[in-house]
Amino acid sequence: MAVHPVTLIPGDGVGPEVSEATRRVIDATGVQIDWDVQQAGLGVMEQHGDPMPAHVLDSIRRNKVAIKGPLTTPIGKGIRSVNVALRKELDLYALVRPCKSYPGVRSRYDDIDLVIVRENTEDIYAGIEFQEGKAETERMIDEIAERTKKSIRPDSGLSIKPISITGSKRIVNFAFEYARSHGRRKVTAVHKANIMKFTDGLFLQVAQAVAAENPDIQFNDRIVDNMAMQLVQNPKEYDVLVLPNLYGDILSDLAAGLVGGLGLAPGANLGDEIAVFEATHGSAPKYAGMNKINPMAMMLSGVLMLRHLGETYAANMLEGAIAETIREGRFVTYDMKADRDDPTAVGTSQVADAIVAKLEKARTPSTI
Ligand code: NAD
């Protein structure tokens, strides 16, 4: 049986709890993983002066596959997101977020099966920012006024939004290949090309050109604000969505809401060689250490990882055990209850216990 080396980054906030729960259920499938546990995030920042130390990146490069808990990015403190840095550093250009309904989940819809493909390296997330009040920002504002004859208020901050032909082609091609290899019928490109003609407009032009080369898969496009409404009103009309970075981030959370919330939304950051799996949700600091948060989003990211490793049987077994736990509704966390204060909600580790028990039962040979 193959042993798969995998980097495991527990992460910040609730990360260690959901990571531990995920590791336990993956091990319980019987698949052989050689876990290379690496610490990153706020906790190691003081020790190494860097929230994503070089040895952690080296571990991911070596193993080619990683699964991580969420990492905290303090708001407005001038600290760049470690998640964004990780994706850029390893050129994980595609963020795939499947949003699928599981029977038993409390949601307005019961048969959603959407996949969000988000570009991960460009757009306003490029980290090219000019802070309000700095001399270089003033110079940039003056330069823009001179070149465009458009004025920007002097007390502004600036964020630059680059979108390239190269980046757009790569992600739209990825979306078509993903659609084809996963038996999907349609790709929808999402943009705001009517307003941002030279960035979103370029993305749309490239998407249309790539679509013309892939006539076996249907293609259409939607303006992002309209897409948000369509996803709420007619989600079943959509299949694979491909979006620039920011819209992908926002609509991923919306789509997670359609299938029961952040506690159930998995994700995969994919490059040509490296894959890093992580839930859509963040580090939820207010719940850290409370054994309260739903580990299923990270467990379902583990299902995606097992499929990526070619461990289809283990992936199906784990997805089945999670689906059964949801359907039964007994060992689920507060977010899956109608009333968030429902005293019958269980904690993170009890969800893992229930799933491990199902997996052990499934692996025990029948004595009949
Ligand atoms: P969040 O996803 O951490 O939490 C928002 C709220 O959603 C929580 O307070 C909780 O009520 C609910 N929630 C989230 N995950 C849940 C789960 N598994 N089970 C049950 N309820 C859940 O979003 P935030 O508060 O905006 O971000 C907190 C921190 O996480 C920030 O520093 C942010 O930068 C970071 N973040 C990291 C990642 C990542 O590592 N990929 C992604 C998003 C946010």
pLDDT tens per residue across span 50-65:
888 999 999 999 999 9
Would you state the pLDDT for residue 50?
A: 84
Residue 35 bridge partners (DSSP)? 6
| Ligand 1 mean position, distance from CA 336 (Å) | 16
- Range 207-229 average pLDDT: 98
In DSSP terms, 130 is beta-bridged to: 158
342 is catalytic: no
The pocket around ligand 1, CB under 6 angstroms, is made up of: 70-73, 83, 262-263, 278, 281-284, 286, 293-294, 297, 335
Q: Which two tokens stand for residue 256?
A: 């997670």
pLDDT at 126: 80
Q: What is the CA radius of gyration of the chain?
A: 21
Residue-wise pLDDT tens digits, 86-108: 888 999 999 999 999 999 998 88
Torsion angle of C-alpha atoms 169, 175, 180, 183, degrees rounded to 10:
-170
**108-112, 117-121, 202-206, 347-351: range with lowest mean pLDDT:** 108-112
pLDDT exceeds cutoff 70 at 286:
yes
User: Quick one: pLDDT band at residue 368, thresholds 50, 70, 90?
Assistant: low
Q: What is the pLDDT of residue 367?
A: 58
Decide if 278 contacts 70 (C-beta within 8 A): yes
DSSP one-letter code for 276:
E
- Provide the b/e sequence for 134-164 (b: ≥16 CB within 10 Å): eeebeebbeeeeeeeeeeeeeeeeeeebebe
Q: Is the pLDDT of residue 150 over 80?
A: yes
Instruction: Please give the backbone phi and psi of residue 68, each rounded to the nearest 5 degrees, phi first.
Output: -135, 150
Pocket test for ligand 1, best of 262, 280, 286, 332 (most atoms within 8 A of CB): 262
pLDDT at 76: 59
**Tokens standing for residue 158:** 């600036």
Percent of the chain at pLDDT > 90 equals 85
326 touches 105 (CB < 8 A): yes
Q: Which atom of ligand 1 is nearest to the CA of 279?
A: 41
Is residue 249 among the annotated active site residues? yes
Q: Considering the candidates 58, 111, 225, 342, report the single residue annotated as catalytic.
A: 225
Distance from Cα 264 to the centre of ligand 1, integer Å: 12
Angle between helices 348-363 and 312-328 (to 10 degrees): 120
Read off the pLDDT band of 210 (50, 70, 90).
very high
Q: Ligand 1 centre and the CA of 284: distance in Å?
A: 4
Mean pLDDT over each residue of the chain, to the nearest integer: 94
The answer to whether 293 touches 333, Cβ cutoff 8 Å, is yes
Residue 113 DSSP code? E
Over 80: is that where the pLDDT of 75 sits? no
pLDDT at 171 over 80: yes
Residue type for position 75:
I
- Examine the residue annotation and report whether 155 is marked as an active-site residue of this protein: no
Which neighbouring-strand residues pair with 36? Answer: 7
